[in-house]
Amino acid sequence: MRMTDGWADRIGRRIAYASYGPSSGAPVLFIPGAGCGRRMSFGAELLDELGVRLISVDRPGLGGSDPDPDPDKTFESVAADFAAVIDAVASGPVPVVANSQGAPFGLALAGTGGASRLVLASPIDDLGYPPVAALLSPMHREFVTAVADDPSAAAQQLSGYTASALFDMIMAAYPESDRAVYDDPEFRATLRTALADGFVQGSAGYARDTVIATTAWPASLLTPGIEVQVLFGSDDTVHSPDLGATLTGRIPGATRTVVDGVGGALLWARADLVISCALGS
């Protein structure tokens, strides 16, 4: 698949992205999951046919994007970086697809006016929201509480992660319905490459992203002001304890689709559905 690297500038900082598909295609911004950036993509076999130019971005401190100089990096600061990428590749708002840990950053981007439509594909949930936290396993709830109690200590602990450790964690357990994706050698190679590139500056970017995504989300994220579609695989036991039902209900006008026969690999197993939703077709 054709891939072209690009960079946008925001206040003297470089924000890296990669374009996949035809250069003349309609741009769709893609915000990947934990530890991944522009080296992750999806739907390669569909981009030419549908005339889509997929723009995959590096969050600050991941891959080729300069770190945020502010140690208190926020959803809003990252959203402004992504808005600069949109300004570099398009003449107005574009559809946005956000996967897993990318979801709250996608919601924040929508608040800047840079997104015309938002698709949350297997999004992580707002784990700091009490009704959602109550559904978590005791161990998972303990982690969420620890992050809220001492974000700095949590970031320090998470900084011990490596690209290989995160790969192993993702591959540790998944439903049989995801095997066709996760056991595919080409997918595994792509994921390893994306994580290695995401950690090329070290683990601080991943750690900070995880802390702010795990802490209770600001209310402003839940009023994006655009069409939001939430997509979940019925066998997904990783991203949300109720397959996004509570999350969808908190976003005015949002709709949720649960797809049978797939888990957290929905983005790759059903790329056709994700892109169709992004294009509004």
Q: 2: pLDDT confidence band, cut at 50, 70 and 90? A: confident
Structural element, H or E, at residue 257? strand 255-259
pLDDT over 70 at 229, yes or no: yes
CATH no. for residue 122?
A: 3.40.50.1820
- H helices, E strands: number in the chain: 13, 8
Average pLDDT for 81-89: 96
Average pLDDT for 78-101: 96
Task: Tell me the residue range of the domain where 228 lies.
Answer: 3-279
Encoding tokens for residue 244?
Answer: 């996004």
User: Residue 31 is which amino acid?
Assistant: I
Q: 11: pLDDT confidence band, cut at 50, 70 and 90? A: confident
* Cα angle, residue 264 at apex, residues 51 and 228 outer, rounded to 5°: 55
Average pLDDT for 70-88: 91
pLDDT tens by residue, 230-263: 999 999 999 999 999 999 999 999 999 999 999 9
C-alpha–C-alpha distance, residues 235 and 233, integer Å: 5
pTM score above 0.85: yes
First CA to last CA distance, the chain: 24
Encoding tokens for residue 5?
Answer: 């690297």
pLDDT over 80 at 72, yes or no: no
> DSSP letters along 110-158, please?
HTTT-EEEEEEEEEPP-TTSHHHHTTS-HHHHHHHHHHHH-HHHHHHHH
Average pLDDT for 65-72: 83
Average pLDDT for 195-199: 97
Q: Are 264 and 35 in contact (CB under 8 A)?
A: no
- How many domains does one find in the chain? 1
pLDDT over 90 at 62, yes or no: yes
Sole residue written with tokens 């209770």: 216
Rounded to an integer, what is the distance from CA 208 to the centroid of its chain?
14
pLDDT tens by residue, 159-181: 999 999 999 999 988 999 999 99
Q: Are 115 and 96 in contact (CB under 8 A)?
A: yes
pLDDT, mean over the chain: 96
pLDDT at 1: 63
